[in-house]
Amino acid sequence: MIGRLLKEPLVHFLVLALGIFALYGALNRSDEPNSDEIVVTGAKIEQLAGLFAKTRQRPPTASEVKGLVDDHVKEEMLYREALALGLDKDDTVIRRRLRLKMEFLSQAQAETTTPSEADLEAFFKANPDRFRIDPTLAFRQVFLSPERRGEAIEQDVASVLEVLRAKPDTDPATLGDPSILPPELSPTRKTSIGQIFGADFADALARTPPGAWAGPVKSSFGLHVVHVGESQAGRPATLVEVRDSVAQEWTNERRQQAEEAQLAGLLKRYRVRIETQADNAAPTGRSP
C-alpha cells in the first residue's frame, strides 16, 4: 500500500511543494517582525503549481515550481512598489478593472442563490409577456432592390405579383434581384425573422394572410413579394416550457437588484458634490 502511494505523481508533487515552502521559510526567517515581509505559503505554491498543471496537462518539475514561486515573488514586490509610488492613482485601466471586480463580486453573490419552485412560479406569473411563445412562420420571398429598380420598383412589384398569381409554377428566383437574404424559411420564430429581415418586416409578415402571394412588404433592404405558408400564432407559455428562461431571468433580476442595493448603500457613505463649469470658471474682469 505504501509502495503504491510513493509511486503516485501527486504525492511527489506535494512533497516537492512542502520542501520548497520549507526552504523559503528558512531563507526568509527573521527574529524581528518585518512589515515588508513576503510570505509564500504552501497553499499558494499548490495554487501556482495547480494552474501550471491545468495549463500544461502535467505537474511541474522542481525547477519549474521554483520558477513559479520566483515569478510570484517578483510580481508581489513590483506590485507593492507600484502602490508605494502611487501608480494605481488616476489610472483609467486600473479603475475600470477594480470596478469590474467589485461588480463581479456583487453578481457572484446574487448568482449563488438558487430560486425555489415557488420563486419561479411567482416570477413567471408576474411577467407573463416576457415568456410568451413567439409566433412561427414559414414563407418564401422575392426581393426587389431599390438601387437596381429605382422609381420603377412599385410597378415591378405589381408585375411580379401578377406573374406569380397567374402562373403558380413560375420559379420565384427568376423574378427577383440577387441578395444574401434567404429566398425561403421553414417555420421560424418571428423574433428570429426580425433579426434577419428587420422587425418591421416580421410584423408585416405576421399580418399577411397565408396561402397566396402578397406585397409589397418593406424591409430595411428593400421591397419583397411574400408567400406565407405554415404559421402558428403566438400564445402564453407554461412554466414547464420556459422554466430555464424563467430561472435565468430571475437570476438576472436578482443580480440587478443586488447591484442597485450595493450602490444605494455606498451612496450613504459618500457625499457627492458635482461642480458645474461655472463653478470652475476663472473670474474675469477686475473686482470692484
Tell whether 51 and 81 lie within a shared domain: yes
Which CATH number do you get for residue 198?
3.10.50.40
The CB density around residue 85, as the number of other CB atoms within 10 Å, is: 9
Q: Answer for the pair 47, 13: CB distance below 8 angstroms, yes or no.
A: no
Residues 62 and 28 in one domain: yes
Same domain, 14 and 80: yes
Query: Structural domain tally of the chain?
Result: 3
Q: Which residue from 227, 224, 208, 205 is spatially nearest to 216, judged by alpha carbons?
A: 224
Query: Residue 273 falls within a domain, yes or no?
Result: no
Average pLDDT for 151-155: 90
How much is the pLDDT for 2?
45
Mean pLDDT of the chain, nearest integer:
82
Q: Do 42 and 70 lie in a common domain?
A: yes
Same domain, 108 and 153: no
Give the pLDDT score at 90: 78
Whether residues 52 and 77 share a domain: the answer is yes
In this structure, the answer to whether residues 66 and 112 fall within a common structural domain is no
Residue 109 clears pLDDT 70, i.e. is over it: no
Among 55, 89, 123, where does a domain finish? 89
272 assigned to some structural domain: no
Question: Which residue range(s) make up the domain with 61?
Answer: 2-89
CA distance 141 to 214: 10
Establish if 216 belongs to a structural domain: yes
Residues 27 and 142 in one domain: no
What are the pLDDT digits (tens) for 204-217? 999 888 988 998 99
In percent, the amount of the chain with pLDDT more than 90 equals 31
Least confident stretch, 46-55, 69-78, 106-115: 106-115
What pLDDT was estimated at residue 87? 84
pLDDT for 280: 57
Residue 69 included in any domain: yes
Closest CA to 137 of 226, 222, 214: 226
Helix (H, G, I), strand (E, B) or coil at 116: coil
Domain match, 127 and 241 both: yes
Mean pLDDT in residue range 184-202: 92
Q: Are residues 241 and 225 in the same domain?
A: no
Greatest mean pLDDT among 165-169, 193-197, 260-264 lies in: 193-197
When pLDDT is averaged across residues 140-152 and rounded to a whole number, the result is 91
Is it the case that residue 198 has pLDDT exceeding 80?
yes
Same-domain check for residues 106 and 125: yes
Please state, in angstroms and rounded to a whole number, the distance separating the CA atoms of residues 204 and 118. 39
In the structure, what pLDDT confidence band is assigned to residue 202 with cuts at 50, 70 and 90?
A: very high
The reply to whether 46 and 96 lie within a common domain is no
Rounded to the nearest 5 degrees, what angle is found at the Cα of 18, between the Cα atoms of 16 and 19?
65
